[in-house]
C-alpha cells in the first residue's frame, strides 16, 4: 500500500496530463477507502480534488464522508459545483451540518438551497440546535416503531425505510404520543414470531436529551458499547439517534482541541500535511504573542531582584532549573485534572479535595527533588546554597502542583475551556511566582 501511495503522490506532484491521470486512476482502483483517505490527507486540496474526480461517484462519496469537516470545506473550493452538490447530498444530516459550520455563509446557503425538501427539513432540525448540545449531532432520520405493534408490522416498516436510515439495527420504541418507552433491535425482531407484540421484546432505553452537553453525553455513552442511543426532547418524545461513531468524533475533536491548546496552539481541524502553511501560522501566532506578553512579568521579577543576583551571582545558575521544574510540575497537575474533568471523575464541587491532594502531591515531589538538590548543590557549592535550592524546590513544587490542579476547575466554573488555563499560562505564572519564592528564600538564608 505504501509503495502505491508513494507512486500516486509522485505522479500528482507533476503537472496533470491525460497520461499520468490515467496512471493515477489505475493505481487508486486498487486502494480501499481507508487507504484513499490516508492518501487524500497527505496531499494538497487541488491534488485531492483530482483523486476524487478520478473515482466513480459511489467511492468518491464514501471517501468524502470519511474526511474531517474542515478538510471537506477546503476541498469544496477545489471541486466543480456539480461535484460538490453530489457529495453534499450524499452526506448524513449530522455530517452535512458539521460541513455547513465550516463553510462561508454564501457557499453554505447555495448548497443548502439545492437539497431536496426532505433533506432540507432534516438538516434544518439540527441547525436549530446550538453547536455544543447533543441534538446538533444526532441523526434525525427515525422510524416509528410503536409498542403495540406486532413484529410483522414492525419489520414491514423497517424494510420500507431501510434505505433512508443511518441505522436500522437499534430500534427505539415509542407509544402513540411518540414518547420513548423502550428499545429493541433488528436481531430481536428476526428471532421473534411475527405475531409477537413489540412491548414484549423491548428493554429499558438508555437516553439523552437534545439539549444535553455534547461532550459530556458522548463521553458517558461511549463506554456503554451501544451502537446507538435514542435522543428525546423535553417531553420525552423520541426525536433522533446518536450513533456510536458520531459520539467518538465528538470526543476526538474535543481531545484534539484540548491537546492543541495545552500546547499553546489552536486545533487545525484537518490533517497536518493537507493544512496550508498560513493556517498553521494563524493557529500558533496569537498564543505566542499572548505568552510573550505574559513573560514580561518574569522579566520584571528578575529586574526587581537584580541587586540580589549582583551579590550572589551563583543564584543565576539555578534559574532555568527552578523555573523549568515549577512549570513542569504545574503542567503535570493541570493535565491530570483537565483529563479528570473531561471524563467526569472530577466535578466543580471537588475543588477543595483536588487542592488538598495536589498540595500533598506537590509537597512530596518537592521533598524528593529538594533533598536531591540540597545534596548536589551543597557538594558543588556550599551548605547555604544547597539549603536555598532544597527549600526553593520544595516550595515551588507545592505551589505549582496546587495552582496547576485548581486552575482547570476554576476555568470550568467561569465557563472557560480548562485547556486554555492549563499549560501555557501555568508555566508563565509558575516562572514568575517561583522566582519570587527563590529570591525571598535566598535573601532569608543568605542574609542579603
What is the sign of the dihedral through the CA atoms of 5, 11, 12 and 13?
positive
Per-residue model confidence (pLDDT) at position 197: 93
Residue 234 in this model has a pLDDT that exceeds 70: yes
Per-residue model confidence (pLDDT) at position 420: 65
Q: Specify the DSSP class assigned to residue 133.
A: B
Q: Which three cell numbers stand for residue 313?
A: 551571582
Percent of the chain with pLDDT over 90: 18
Q: What is the mean pLDDT of residues 292-302?
A: 69
Residue 395 in this model has a pLDDT that exceeds 90: yes
Distance CA 11, CA 379 (A): 64
Per-residue model confidence (pLDDT) at position 181: 92
State pLDDT tens for residues 155-211.
Answer: 998 888 887 787 888 899 999 888 999 999 888 988 889 899 999 989 898 999 999
Contacts of 375 (CB under 8 A, 6+ apart): 386
**H-helix or E-strand containing 301?**
helix 296-304
Q: What is the mean pLDDT of residues 123-142?
A: 86
Q: What is the mean pLDDT of residues 378-403?
A: 90
State pLDDT tens for residues 53-68.
Answer: 777 878 888 888 888 8
Per-residue model confidence (pLDDT) at position 98: 81
Per-residue model confidence (pLDDT) at position 241: 92
Q: What is the mean pLDDT of residues 316-345?
A: 83
Per-residue model confidence (pLDDT) at position 312: 66
Per-residue model confidence (pLDDT) at position 44: 79
Q: Output 266 or 402, whichever has higher pLDDT.
A: 402
Per-residue model confidence (pLDDT) at position 82: 65
Residue 14 confidence class, pLDDT cut points 50, 70, 90: low
Residue 308 confidence class, pLDDT cut points 50, 70, 90: low
Residue 424 confidence class, pLDDT cut points 50, 70, 90: low
Distance CA 73, CA 435 (A): 47
Residue 232 in this model has a pLDDT that exceeds 70: yes
Task: Note whether 401 and 361 are within 8 A (CB).
Answer: yes
Q: What is the mean pLDDT of residues 328-334?
A: 86
Q: Which three cell numbers stand for residue 322?
A: 527552578
Q: Which three cell numbers stand for residue 43?
A: 496531499
Q: Which three cell numbers stand for residue 334?
A: 493541570
Q: What is the mean pLDDT of residues 138-148?
A: 87
Distance CA 178, CA 173 (A): 9
Per-residue model confidence (pLDDT) at position 263: 65
**H-helix or E-strand containing 92?**
none
- The residue behind cell 527533588 is 369
Pick the closest to residue 377 from 366, 365, 391 (CA basis). 391
Amino acid at each position: 500500500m505504501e509503495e502505491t501511495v508513494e507512486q500516486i503522490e509522485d505522479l500528482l506532484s507533476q503537472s496533470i496530463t491525460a497520461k499520468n491521470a490515467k496512471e493515477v486512476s489505475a493505481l487508486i482502483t486498487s486502494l480501499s477507502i481507508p487507504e484513499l483517505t490516508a492518501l487524500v490527507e497527505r496531499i494538497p486540496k487541488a491534488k485531492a480534488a483530482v483523486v476524487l474526480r478520478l473515482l466513480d461517484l459511489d467511492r468518491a462519496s464514501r471517501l468524502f464522508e470519511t474526511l474531517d469537516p474542515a478538510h471537506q470545506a477546503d476541498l469544496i473550493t477545489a471541486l466543480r459545483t456539480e461535484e460538490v452538490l453530489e457529495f453534499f447530498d450524499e452526506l448524513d444530516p449530522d455530517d452535512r451540518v458539521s460541513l455547513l459550520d465550516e463553510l462561508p455563509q454564501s457557499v453554505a446557503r447555495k448548497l443548502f438551497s439545492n437539497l431536496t425538501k426532505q433533506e432540507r427539513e432534516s438538516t434544518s432540525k439540527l441547525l436549530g440546535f446550538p453547536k455544543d448540545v447533543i441534538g446538533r449531532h444526532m441523526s434525525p432520520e427515525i422510524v416509528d416503531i410503536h409498542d403495540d405493534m406486532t413484529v410483522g408490522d414492525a419489520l414491514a416498516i423497517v424494510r420500507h425505510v431501510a434505505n433512508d436510515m443511518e441505522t436500522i439495527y437499534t430500534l427505539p420504541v415509542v407509544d402513540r404520543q411518540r414518547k420513548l418507552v423502550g428499545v429493541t433491535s433488528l436481531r430481536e425482531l428476526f428471532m421473534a414470531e411475527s405475531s409477537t407484540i413489540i412491548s414484549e421484546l423491548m428493554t429499558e432505553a438508555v437516553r439523552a436529551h437534545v439539549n444535553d452537553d455534547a461532550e459530556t453525553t458522548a463521553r458517558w455513552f461511549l463506554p456503554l458499547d451501544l451502537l446507538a442511543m435514542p435522543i428525546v426532547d423535553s417531553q420525552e418524545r423520541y426525536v433522533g439517534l446518536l450513533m456510536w461513531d458520531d459520539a467518538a468524533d465528538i470526543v476526538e475533536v474535543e481531545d484534539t482541541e484540548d491537546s492543541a491548546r495545552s500546547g499553546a496552539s489552536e486545533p487545525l481541524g484537518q490533517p497536518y500535511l493537507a493544512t496550508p502553511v498560513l493556517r498553521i501560522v494563524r493557529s500558533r501566532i496569537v498564543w505566542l504573542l499572548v505568552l510573550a506578553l505574559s513573560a514580561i512579568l518574569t522579566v520584571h521579577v528578575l529586574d526587581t531582584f537584580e541587586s540580589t543576583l549582583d551579590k550572589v551571582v551563583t543564584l543565576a545558575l539555578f534559574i532555568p532549573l527552578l523555573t523549568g521544574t515549577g512549570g513542569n510540575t504545574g503542567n503535570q497537575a493541570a493535565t491530570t485534572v483537565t483529563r479528570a474533568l473531561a471524563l467526569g471523575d472530577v466535578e466543580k464541587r471537588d475543588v477543595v479535595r483536588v487542592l488538598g491532594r495536589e498540595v500533598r502531591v506537590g509537597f512530596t515531589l518537592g521533598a524528593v527533588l529538594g533533598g536531591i538538590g540540597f545534596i548536589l548543590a551543597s557538594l558543588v557549592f556550599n551548605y547555604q546554597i544547597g539549603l536555598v535550592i532544597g527549600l526553593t524546590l520544595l516550595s515551588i513544587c507545592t505551589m505549582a502542583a496546587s495552582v496547576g490542579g485548581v486552575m482547570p476547575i476554576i476555568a470550568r466554573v467561569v465557563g472557560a475551556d480548562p485547556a486554555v488555563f492549563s499549560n501555557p499560562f501555568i508555566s508563565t505564572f509558575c516562572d514568575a511566582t517561583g522566582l519570587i519564592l527563590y529570591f525571598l528564600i535566598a535573601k532569608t538564608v543568605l542574609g542579603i
